[in-house]
Chains A and B, each alone.
Chain A
C-alpha cells in the first residue's frame, strides 16, 4: 500500500461520443520510473491531465498519496498539486520570462527564500541540466532540447514527490532525445522520486523505465517491467513493438 504513489481505479472519460479512457486501472509505484506508452492520440495526455487534476473524469477514482482527488475542489487540488512537478510536451516555459526567472518562479511563489537562497537553488538546478550559462536567455532563443532541460529544472526546483513527463522526447532528434532520457534517468537515480512518463517512443522508454504500462483503446492492456513487456504475446503489444523496429533491444531488467 505504502509503495503506491498514484492509484487509478476504473477511470472513464469521454469527449462527446468519443470514448478516450475506458476503465483505466493502474498502480504507480513510489520511487520508480513508470512509463505509459501508447499511440499518439490514444488518450495518454488525457490520462496525465487527470492525474494532475486538470480534467475531471466521468467516473472512477484517482488516489494520490492517500487522497482521492477527483472530488476535490480547486483549493484541495492545489494542496495535492504541490506534490507534483510537470514537464510539459513543449516545456511550457513562460515566454515573457528568461530562463532564470522561469526556474525561480515556483520558488518565489511558494517559498519565503531570500534572494540569495533563490539564486543558489536556481544555479544548482541549472547546473544539473548543464545550462548554467544560459540563465539570461529568453525561451525563444533556446533550442527544443534546451527548453525541455529548463522545463525539467523548473519541474524539479521545489523537490516534488512525483514528476510527470508529457512526451519528453517528442520533436527532438535522436541524440538530443538520448541526452534528455539520460538526464531523466540520472536525476531519478539521484533523487529517488516517482517519475511518470508518457510517450509513444517505446525504444527510448525501455532505456529508462522501471515499469511500462501499455495504453490501448482506453485501457491498460499490459503492465510490467520492460523485460516482461517485450515478451508479451498480446497482438497489440507485438504490433507496437514491431512498428518501432527494435534491432537489439537493450535496457530494462527482468
Chain B
C-alpha cells in the first residue's frame, strides 16, 4: 500500500514536471521565435491594437479609481499624524511601483489574455493550428510570437497611462475633494518619487506581459475537447496567469527595490 502511494506521488510529480517542461519549452520557443526574423509586422500591429488600444478604457478606469481610493484611504491614516501632505507621494509611489503594473496586467489578462486563449483554443479544436503546421509553417511564429511581442510592448505603455491617471485621480480626491494643500501634494511627489520607481514598475509590466501572453497562448494551444475544452482552458489561463503575475511580482519587487 505504501508502495502504491509512493508510486501515485511519483506519477503526479512526473505529470507536474512534464507540464512544467512543456510550458518551459513553449516559453523558450515563443521568445526565440519572437526575436527571430522575419517579424510578422501586420500580425504584431493587429495584436498591439487589440491588447493595447482596445484595453485603454478599462485600464484608465481602473487606474483613476485606484488613485482616487488610495488618496481617500491614505488621507484617513495620515490625518491622524497631521501628515496629509504625504498623500500625493503615497499615491504616486503605490501606483508606479506596484498597483499600476499589477492591476493593469490583471485587467489585461482578464480582457485580452482570456481572448487569446479562447481564440487559439478554438483554432486548435477546429484544426486551424494543424492547418498552419501542415502548410510547413510554425504556428507559434504566426500565432504566439505576435501576441508575446505586442504584450511585451503594450503593457508598459498601458501601465504608464494607468500611473498617470492614477496620480491625477489621487490629486482630484486629495486636493479638490479633501482640501489637501496643492503645493504640499505636488512637492512631496516631486521629492519622493524617483525615476527608478517609474521605470522599475514599467519593467515589471513588460515581464508580466510576457508571462500573461505565454501562459494564455500555451493554454489555448493545448486545448482539447470542443467548446467545453475552450471554456475550461480560458478559465485555467486567466487563473494561472493572474497567480503567476502576483507571485512573480513579489519576486521581482524583492530583486529590484
Query: Could you say which residues of chain B place their CB within 8 Å of the CB of A89?
Result: 127
Query: Could you say which residues of chain B place their CB within 8 Å of the CB of A90?
Result: 126-127
Q: Is the CB of B136 within 8 A of A92?
A: no
Query: Could you say which residues of chain A place their CB within 8 Å of the CB of B134?
Result: 52, 54, 81, 84, 86
Give residues in B with beta carbon < 8 Å to A: 123, 126-128, 130-131, 133-138
Tell me if A95 counts as interface (CB < 8 A to partner B). Answer: yes
A83-112: contact bitstring with B at CB < 8 Å (1 yes, 0 no)?
A: 010101110111100000000011001100
Q: Is the CB of A95 within 8 A of B127?
A: no
Q: Is the CB of A82 within 8 A of B136?
A: yes
Q: Is the CB of B136 within 8 A of A81?
A: yes
Tell me if A78 counts as interface (CB < 8 A to partner B). Answer: yes
Tell me if A79 counts as interface (CB < 8 A to partner B). Answer: yes
Interface residues on A, range: 20 to 34
Q: Is the CB of B136 within 8 A of A94?
A: no
Q: Is the CB of A109 within 8 A of B137?
A: yes
Query: Could you say which residues of chain B place their CB within 8 Å of the CB of A78?
Result: 136-137
Shortest distance from the beta carbon of A84 to any chain B beta carbon, whole Å:
6
Name the residue on B nearest A164 (C-beta): B134
Complex: how many Å from CA A88 to CA B133?
Answer: 12
A94-B131 contact given A79-B136, A81-B136, CB 8 Å threshold = yes
Name the residue on A nearest B128 (C-beta): A92
Q: Is the CB of B135 within 8 A of A92?
A: no
Complex: how many Å from CA A52 to CA B126?
Answer: 17
Q: Is the CB of A88 within 8 A of B137?
A: no
Q: Please report which residues of chain A, range 95-137, place their CB below 8 angstroms from some CB of chain B when the two chains form the complex.
A: 95, 105-106, 109-110
Name the residue on A nearest B122 (C-beta): A95
| A74, A88, A110 pick with most chain B CB within 10 angstroms | A88
Q: Is the CB of B127 within 8 A of A88?
A: yes
Give residues in A with beta carbon < 8 Å to B: 49, 52, 54, 74, 77-79, 81-82, 84, 86, 88-90, 92-95, 105-106, 109-110
Shortest distance from the beta carbon of A53 to any chain B beta carbon, whole Å:
8
Q: Is the CB of B133 within 8 A of A54?
A: yes
Q: Is the CB of B135 within 8 A of A94?
A: no
Q: Is the CB of B136 within 8 A of A88?
A: no
Q: Is the CB of A110 within 8 A of B136?
A: yes
Complex: how many Å from CA A89 to CA B126?
Answer: 9
| A86, A92, A94, A95 pick with most chain B CB within 10 angstroms | A92
Complex: how many Å from CA A93 to CA B138?
Answer: 17
Q: Known pairs A79-B136, A81-B135. 19 more at Cβ < 8 A? A: A49-B130, A54-B134, A77-B136, A78-B137, A81-B133, A82-B136, A86-B131, A88-B127, A88-B130, A88-B131, A89-B127, A90-B126, A90-B127, A92-B130, A93-B128, A94-B123, A94-B128, A110-B135, A110-B136
Residue in B131, B137, B138 whose CB lies within 8 Å of A92: B131
List 11 interface pairs A-B (beta carbons < 8 Å), by A numbering.
Answer: A54-B130, A54-B133, A74-B138, A78-B136, A86-B134, A92-B126, A92-B127, A92-B131, A109-B135, A109-B137, A110-B136
Query: Could you say which residues of chain B place their CB within 8 Å of the CB of A84?
Result: 134
Complex: how many Å from CA A49 to CA B129?
Answer: 13
Query: Could you say which residues of chain B place their CB within 8 Å of the CB of A77?
Result: 136
Shortest distance from the beta carbon of B29 to any chain A beta carbon, whole Å:
10
Query: Could you say which residues of chain B place their CB within 8 Å of the CB of A110?
Result: 135-136
Query: Could you say which residues of chain A place their CB within 8 Å of the CB of B138?
Result: 74
Name the residue on B nearest A96 (C-beta): B119
Shortest distance from the beta carbon of B166 to any chain A beta carbon, whole Å:
34
Complex: how many Å from CA A74 to CA B140?
Answer: 13
**10 closest residue pairs by CB, A with B:** A78-B136, A81-B136, A92-B127, A92-B131, A88-B127, A86-B134, A82-B136, A92-B128, A52-B134, A106-B135
Complex: how many Å from CA A81 to CA B123?
Answer: 20
Query: Could you say which residues of chain A place their CB within 8 Å of the CB of B127?
Result: 88-90, 92
Name the residue on A nearest B130 (C-beta): A54
